[in-house]
Amino acid sequence: MQNRLTIKDIARLSGVGKSTVSRVLNNESGVSARTRERVEAVMNQHGFAPSRSARAMRGQSDKVVAIIVTRLDSLSENLAVQTMLPVFYEQGYDPIMMESQFSPEKVAEHLGMLRRRNVDGVVLFGFTGVNETLLAPWQSTLVMLARDAAGFASVCYDDEGAIQMLMQRLYDQGHRHISFLGVPHSDVTTGKRRHEAYLAFCKTHRLTPVAALPGLAMKQGYDAVATVTGPDTTALVCATDTLALGASKYLQEQRLDALQLASVGSTPLMKFLHPEIITVDPGYGKAGQQAAQQLVAQINGRSDLQQIVIPATLA
């Protein structure tokens, strides 16, 4: 890049010493109001911006964080990332993005690179298989999203609450034969917790649970519908919007209009394509914002490792 100004230039231009400029730059006390004003004037006039790398070198911090999403095209994760970006920018952090593609190896690889690169912190969208020992070095500078792990800060969704809300709503509407489409228990949050919340509700309300846990993919939802719907089934709860999309396609093809779908996750796509599906918003946006704030606070040593749970809301 071109000849950028340095504090030395600003110092010369405003007739003071380098250190005074530095003090002004960092809002340090011990500079007379007049001097400060003058220096600031010169800075603005020339659009001066201090060199990041030079500051980083002295301060030991690059002001860089990483966001590791599972997939760039995850609708829910997108909503979370959308809200965290502004937070990071505002705080002067450069957020670099990476994709894990649900592969623990990729995470390991990425974290290795991030460590070598001396990054300040990481937001990691959790998934089944992330090895916690791998994360150990990041304990104080990592925020996990969508999952919790002992000893790590995290921002989770209210899995139980979300399912409960959907079930209650369906129950109130008179449904008594509600099936469930979910994810295997190896996935603790989206899989186990949501399924168990479903079972718990059934038990409490004396309903007969009928569930399948095929996985996260649309196709899996599509294929599994038949296995959980019988002649008297009136409603179907899906653990994720992706599953619901798959299920919905199946129902449409089979002309099973009568079956009421419900699902966790109300993304814009879902709401447009299938406004008839009852959805609950797990609070993706809020989660992203919270995660970013939590990470920044941790980096600055202004916060303990918190385990935050975002409340769900009926959409």
Interacting residue ranges for DNA, rule: CB under 7 A: 4, 6-8, 15-20, 22-23, 25-26, 29-32, 34-36, 50-51, 54-55, 57-59
CB 203 within 8 A of CB 164: no
Both tokens assigned to 174: 């008179």
**Binding mask of the shown chain, residues 266 to 285, with x at each position contacting a second copy by CB under 8 A:** --x---xx------------
Interface residue with a second copy among 62, 160, 196, 223 (CB under 8 A) is 62
Under the criterion CB under 8 A, does residue 51 sit at the interface with a second copy? yes
Q: Say which residues have a Cβ less than 8 Å from residue 154's Cβ, sequence separation at least 6.
A: 126, 143, 144, 145, 147, 148, 306, 307, 308
Sheet holding 235-238, edge to edge: 210-212, 178-181, 235-238, 260-264, 278-281, 313-314
Residues near 115 by Cβ (< 8 Å), separated by ≥ 6?
137
User: Could you tell which of a second copy, DNA, none binds residue 72, using a CB distance below 5 to 8 A set by kind?
Assistant: a second copy
Q: Work out whether 136 is an interface residue with a second copy (CB under 8 A).
A: no
226 touching a second copy, by CB under 8 A: no
Q: Does 78 bind a second copy (CB under 8 A)?
A: yes
Q: Which of 310, 311, 306 is nearest to 295 (CA)?
A: 306
Using CB under 8 A, which of 75, 199, 256, 309 touches a second copy?
75
Question: Among DNA, a second copy, none, what does residue 129 contact (CB within 5–8 Å per kind)?
Answer: none
Q: What character string, x for contact with a second copy (CB under 8 A) and - otherwise, covers 245-264?
A: xx--x--x------------
81 binds, among DNA, a second copy, none (CB under 5 to 8 A by kind): a second copy
- Binding to a second copy by residue 300, rule CB under 8 A? no
Q: Rg of the chain over CA atoms, in angstroms?
A: 25
Pick from 15, 45, 46, 117: which binds a second copy (CB under 8 A)?
Answer: 117
3-state SS of 96-110 is EEEECCCCHHHHHHH
Smallest CA-to-CA distance from 106 within 88, 125, 93, 78 is with: 125
Closest CA to 80 of 310, 307, 313, 283: 283
Taking the complex as a whole, the smallest distance from the CB of residue 209 to a second copy amounts, in Å, to 28
Tokens of 100: 């894990």
Q: Which residues contact a second copy by CB under 8 A?
A: 1, 4, 47, 49, 51-54, 56-57, 60-62, 64, 72-73, 75, 78-79, 81-82, 85, 89, 94-99, 113, 116-118, 120, 218-219, 245-246, 249, 252, 268, 272-273
